[in-house]
């Protein structure tokens, strides 16, 4: 008895092709993308450090530490951890 079910594709056909950068143009594109990512991470690192330092100065000026300050420091720590993982 014949069914109308489609046949399962061969395992070789179902595998997605891997991306390999062979030509010089593709290698240059990959390098430029990594460079832009690196610059973005550096900007984020500098901004996070400045914001953290500003928060510390504000806490000393106010003379108190609030829950909002602690939460901000936790977020700054998380951001620093994230870009620390991505830097080579």
pLDDT tens profile 43-74: 998 999 999 999 999 999 999 999 999 999 99
- ∠ CA 28-29-35, nearest 5°, is 90
Q: What percent of the chain has pLDDT over 90?
A: 41
Is 50 in contact with 44 (CB distance < 8 Å)?
A: no
pLDDT value, residue 84? 77
Tell me the C-alpha distance between 10 and 51, whole Å. 55
Residue 17 scores a pLDDT above 80: no
Residue 41 scores a pLDDT above 80: yes
Tell which residue, 32, 12, 8, 30, has the closest CA to residue 21: 30
pLDDT value, residue 86? 76
């Amino acid at each position: 008895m014949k069914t109308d079910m489609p046949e399962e594709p061969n395992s070789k056909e179902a595998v997605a092709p891997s991306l390999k950068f062979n030509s010089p143009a593709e290698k240059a594109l990959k390098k430029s993308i990594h460079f832009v990512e690196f610059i973005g991470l550096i900007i984020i690192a500098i901004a996070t450090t400045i914001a953290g330092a500003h928060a510390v100065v504000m806490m000393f000026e106010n003379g108190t530490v609030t829950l909002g300050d602690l939460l901000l420091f936790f977020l700054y720590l998380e951001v620093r951890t994230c870009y620390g993982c991505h830097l080579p």
